[in-house]
Structure 1
Amino acid sequence: MDTTEPTSSSRQILLAATEALIYAGGINATGMDAIVKASGVARKTIYRHFSTKDALVAQALRERDVRWMHWFSEETCRTAPGTARLLAAFEALAQWFATPGFRGCAFINAAGETGDPADPIRIVAREHKASLRAFLLQLAIEAGVAQADALADAWLILIDGAISVALVTGDLQAASRAHAMARGLLPTFFAPTTKESP
């Protein structure tokens, strides 16, 4: 029997099922029939609360952003503040890459399936990267890095590069190599920037 208002638990089941399906197979390859079947939530009920499939996917990705950032920050912050914590980000990645369900970054994957920069899914992906960069900037500031913004930018590129390499090539050592690169770069960010003389 269909209900007009899904319970909080059925909504979470719907979002979790949607996220799992799109992460495993992609947005375009995941039809509404598969989402209905996996979640057990009637199609009519889904469309009462999410006007389009894209709206549902965007919300599922927002939920993933919250959960993934919580996990990543918890894993990274197990190490004491300082350079060790900055490098612990790559140790967390190495753990993630080794999990059986690893399929790369859900947000990079989703952005790759959307052509319009104003697409709600692309916006969620962009917001996720902004959240990740903000976290990395916070770590850099806590570590007393002189060029904290530059380090946050570099770490974001190294992290996303390692994730992409691990997904595309299956090279699970990509996190270790990114870790080594980051370690080599670290001293350069502690030096204050020098302005060129006119």
Structure 2
Amino acid sequence: MSPPAVTNTEANADAPQADARERLLEAAEALIYAGGIHATGVDAIVRAAGAARKSFYTYFESKDALVAAALSRRDERWMRWFVAGTLARGRTPQARLVGMFDVLREWFTSEGFHGCAFLNAAGEIASPADPVRVVAREHKERLLDFVREQSEAWAAIVGVDRRIAARLARQWLILIDGAIGVALVSGDADAALDARAAGRSLLDALAPKSGSDSPSQSQNRSPSRAPPRRAAQRKEQDHE
């Protein structure tokens, strides 16, 4: 299952039920995701939407406003897809955390994968206060919130505190974004499997070690070689 594709409005411009604003958002999202913000002009978006240029100014005060609205639209759809795919991967928090990377791998192999639209957009916009950067940041915060929910549920089961769960969530987000970036640049969908393996190792490292030796057990299991050494010393003394 991959994220729901954006409809190609240029090929379906006469869709009677789509109003001009929705068609502009749809076209902007598709074109910007495929080609970038700076490389996509308003005229290209208007043409792809099958809309009049005046309708662009009716609904949006600027290109940046249109881009921000299109990204917000994508955020809603992408998060619904990712959450549903994750929850379908297992009944336990650990299965869901690990299953996130299987969901991502299916996305990486889908036609038209161009990486994370929000990281791509943030990379083109310099100002942190720009509406486009704000939407990108809010998307990552929403994703982190969902990962944190699963991390806290995992922590409650294995018996670690919420500080560890919070750290796990932040590190898990880095694994997710790292897998997306590597898959985009390398073209290798198995980047998701590498991230999944790293995630399993992280869970193992953070979980309490069952059956670990106590200091007394360690002392009881220490090698008992002192008596033979003392016996050898006595033999040497007998020969002196």
What's the TM-score, normalizing by structure 1? 0.90
Aligned CA RMSD, in angstroms, stands at: 1.5
Q: Which of the pair has more CA radius of gyration?
A: 2
CA distance in 2, matches of 1:26, 1:127: 19
Unaligned residue ranges in structure 1 (runs of 5+):
1-6, 193-198
> Is 1:83 matched with 2:87?
no
The question of whether the paired residues in 1 share the 8 Å contact of 2:21 and 2:59 is answered with no
1:4 corresponding residue in structure 2: none
SS in 2 for 1:102: coil
Residue 8 of structure 1 deviates from its aligned partner by 6.4
Unaligned residue ranges in structure 2 (runs of 5+):
1-16, 210-240
Residue 160 of structure 1 aligns with an amino acid whose one-letter code is D
SS in 2 for 1:172: coil
Q: How does 1:69-148 map to 2 (within 5 A)?
A: 69-78=79-88, 79-145=90-156, 146=160, 147-148=164-165
Residue 20 of structure 1 deviates from its aligned partner by 0.3
The question of whether the paired residues in 2 share the 8 Å contact of 1:87 and 1:179 is answered with yes
Q: How does 1:13-32 map to 2 (within 5 A)?
A: 13-32=23-42
CA distance in 1, matches of 2:21, 2:139: 22
**Alignment match of 1:59 (pick from 69, 83, 86):** 69
State the structure with bigger RCO (CA 8 A, min sep 6), 1 or 2.
1
Range moving further from structure 2, 53-62 or 136-145: 136-145
The question of whether the paired residues in 2 share the 8 Å contact of 1:90 and 1:176 is answered with yes
1:3 corresponding residue in structure 2: none
SS in 2 for 1:143: helix
**1:46-84: CA deviation from partner (whole Å, max 9, x where unpaired):** 112110000000000000000000000000000213211
Residue 182 of structure 2 aligns with an amino acid whose one-letter code is V
Residue 100 of structure 2 aligns with an amino acid whose one-letter code is A
